[in-house]
């Protein structure tokens, strides 16, 4: 088994599939860095993986390992004041913005437009599918993880969270701040929800803290740089008010 540092946590897991080995490369720690206690131990039963493959033959064992290790990490992250959201995370000027929404809403596309508008050196995609959020010292941080969906767009960095934007395709661009009730419903729907009631309570507690610290928006938008400018200006104006 190898050891990784993911979301500032020591994670031990056995990566035998090509995808996880590739995605986890930048998170792997050197032997002399592993003296601290392990925070999360991910041990996936290969027999269960084989049964999953037999039930859903469209996916390979490699893909099942990638999915199941990610799910195990998401569940254990709740024990460390963290959770994962189905979103594309972009860091700009050391502040992270999450673009979330249902499949097909344009999360990856919008994140790519931010890179096009600001330049890839300034706008960095931290994770294109399931970034980790952790509450540390009263601040929510966004982390890259090896589990970034169908793309390899993830980097092993962190940035404080500035805003969450839920996207919806539209012909014209319009953005508005959501009230807490609207925001909570969308966040819960797009988060990785545990089956365990105790961990579900932890998730709800974290979301409640998130509502007190982070503005959440709904943005109807098209595929254009104008959409980027409108989102950026709105988020920046909120920062000025604070």
- Residue-wise pLDDT for 98-118, tens only, equals 999 888 878 999 999 999 999
Angle between helices 46-55 and 61-77 (to 10 degrees): 120
Within 8 A by CB and 6+ apart from 200, the residues are 193, 194
Domains plus CATH for the chain?
A: 2-80 (no CATH), 82-241 (3.90.228.20)
- Give percent of the chain above pLDDT 90: 75
For CA atoms 140, 8, 186, 198, give the dihedral sign: negative
Q: How do residues 7-36 score in pLDDT, each as one tens digit?
A: 999 999 988 889 999 999 999 987 655 556
Residue 164: strand, helix, or coil: strand
- Give the global pTM: 0.93
Q: How do residues 182-227 score in pLDDT, each as one tens digit?
A: 999 999 999 988 989 999 999 999 999 999 999 999 999 999 999 9
């Amino acid at each position: 088994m190898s050891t990784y540092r993911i979301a500032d946590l020591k994670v031990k897991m056995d990566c035998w599939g090509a995808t996880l080995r590739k995605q986890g490369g930048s998170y792997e720690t050197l032997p002399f860095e592993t003296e601290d206690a392990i925070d999360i131990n991910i041990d996936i039963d290969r027999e269960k993986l084989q049964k999953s493959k037999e039930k859903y033959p469209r996916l390979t064992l490699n893909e099942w390992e990638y999915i199941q290790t990610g799910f195990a990490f998401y569940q254990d992250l709740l024990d460390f004041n963290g959770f994962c959201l189905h979103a594309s995370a972009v860091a700009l000027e050391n502040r992270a913005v999450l673009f979330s929404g249902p499949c097909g809403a344009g999360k990856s596309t919008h994140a790519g437009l931010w890179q096009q508008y600001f330049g890839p050196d300034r706008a960095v995609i931290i994770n294109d599918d399931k970034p980790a959020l952790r509450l540390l010292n009263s601040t929510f941080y966004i982390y890259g993880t090896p589990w970034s969906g169908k793309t390899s767009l993830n980097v092993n960095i962190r940035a404080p969270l500035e805003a969450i934007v839920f996207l919806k395709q539209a012909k014209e661009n319009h953005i508005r701040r959501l009230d807490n009730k609207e925001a909570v419903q969308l966040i819960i729907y797009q988060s990785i929800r545990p089956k365990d009631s105790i961990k579900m309570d932890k998730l709800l507690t974290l979301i409640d803290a998130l509502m007190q610290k982070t503005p959440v928006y709904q943005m109807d938008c098209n595929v254009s740089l104008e959409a980027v400018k409108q989102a950026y200006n709105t988020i920046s104006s909120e920062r000025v008010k604070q």
